[in-house]
A = this chain, B = another copy of it.
């Protein structure tokens, strides 16, 4: 394929749209067992998209998709990604592609200002903090935990040079909410440290006293608390840990506080939701996913640290083939020291395109629209005496269930998903099996929400009627 053909094909590809439904193993029998020896035509490949791929795609951008959390999808981000592919640079160091590194630093400052992050988290031209794009929130949590691990080891070894690293690690304890995402537990597993879950209150929120209690017990047992991962907007119910209480405790106890706001973070660009981030001033690192709810296509997880030296110090290894002339200059960032992978794509282009083509007001309007749709769904549920709301509806997620047994709700969910008209996933809240309704797609409108509710309500009526007989 030459450049002229690519132009033509690229123009066709832009017109492509999606669909869905299958059993495990469906795909293998649809295509050959081996790669072809001779080149095939583009027409043959494209024909197979419809035949092989589309029947097996779960359509995350359908206005009937209410599962998990949203994943971003916008035209400006897609165009920027095309440019990223065309430039095709690998930005592991400043020298490897200066624009790739510098635009990222500035975009993270732009976004930090939209969120009104404390000045310490911004890079500016002289700041000691700054932001970076990670692939996912899982990686941000892991990086924060590893930086905290490295920092506490150095701190302890300064006073006790004879204590070995493995001896110290064996005493370390990290903490998170019992509602925290599975990736937090996984970060502890990877880092080889103990991870404890702090019990939450009736709002599924970790409070200061709960952490304090566990810390006291652990200090008394000779353990070394070093890391707390707070969640703003938990995956099950979009609950918020009380960071105004937790932050001062972490600061006093020299515990690294990382804030994971993977989903909820995008909402903090709206003044009315910004109070949910109060307490951020106590955090050492903060992360959320513009690729969830801020219209920047996956992958784009924004992470900020107050002291970039903490992160770099944990990982820096400098072979000769990666050295370059400018690296000792204060203006230069080598992002490879900030992340697990070495290579990196030019992902900040997506942020630049989206921020400019929506404008802050456009982005705020998008968030508010989703929250409004969730509120609308909540009021529909509340108006139906057979159902109950299982957690406060703060942003775009509604947790609800039929009053009654878990089994009843499990059957209802199964029927909803088998009907394939809408898609939901469940969660567990205080021992109860709960249905999650997350407003996801950019194209979801009030009529879709009402249609979804009437469908759920109809399936519930059928189910309850069957049970009565």
Contacts and interface: CB of A to CB of B under 8 A. Distances in A.
Interface of A: 1-3, 5-7, 9-11, 13-18, 22-28, 31, 33-42, 44-45, 49, 52-61, 68, 71-79, 81-83, 85-90, 94-100, 102-103, 105-106, 109-111, 113-114, 125, 135-139, 142, 146, 149, 164-167, 169-170, 181-183, 185-186, 189-192, 235-236, 291, 297-299, 314-315, 317-322, 326, 329, 331-332, 340-343, 345, 349, 352-353, 355-362, 425-428, 433, 436
Contacts of A106: 27-28, 31
Contacts of A340: 138-139, 142, 190, 340
6 contacts: A7-B14, A45-B357, A60-B97, A82-B85, A182-B317, A298-B345
Given A341-B138, A359-B36, A352 B75 contact: no
Given A1-B357, A56-B102, 10 more contacts: A10-B78, A22-B99, A37-B359, A38-B359, A39-B356, A39-B362, A45-B353, A49-B83, A137-B342, A299-B345
A428 B320 contact: yes
Contacts of A320: 236, 426-428, 433
Nearest to A425: B321
A380 to B, nearest CB: 22
A242 B258 CA distance: 44
A98 B28 contact: no
A136 B335 CA distance: 15
A51 to B, nearest CB: 11
Nearest to A24: B331
A341 B192 contact: no
A190 B193 CA distance: 11
A362 to B, nearest CB: 5
B189 A57 contact: no
A16 B98 contact: no
A35 B110 contact: yes
Contact of A14 (B11, B31, B87, B139): B11
Given A189-B315, A332-B24, A428-B320, A86 B13 contact: yes
B426 A321 contact: yes
A185 B319 CA distance: 11
Given A24-B326, A25-B331, A331-B24, A36 B99 contact: no
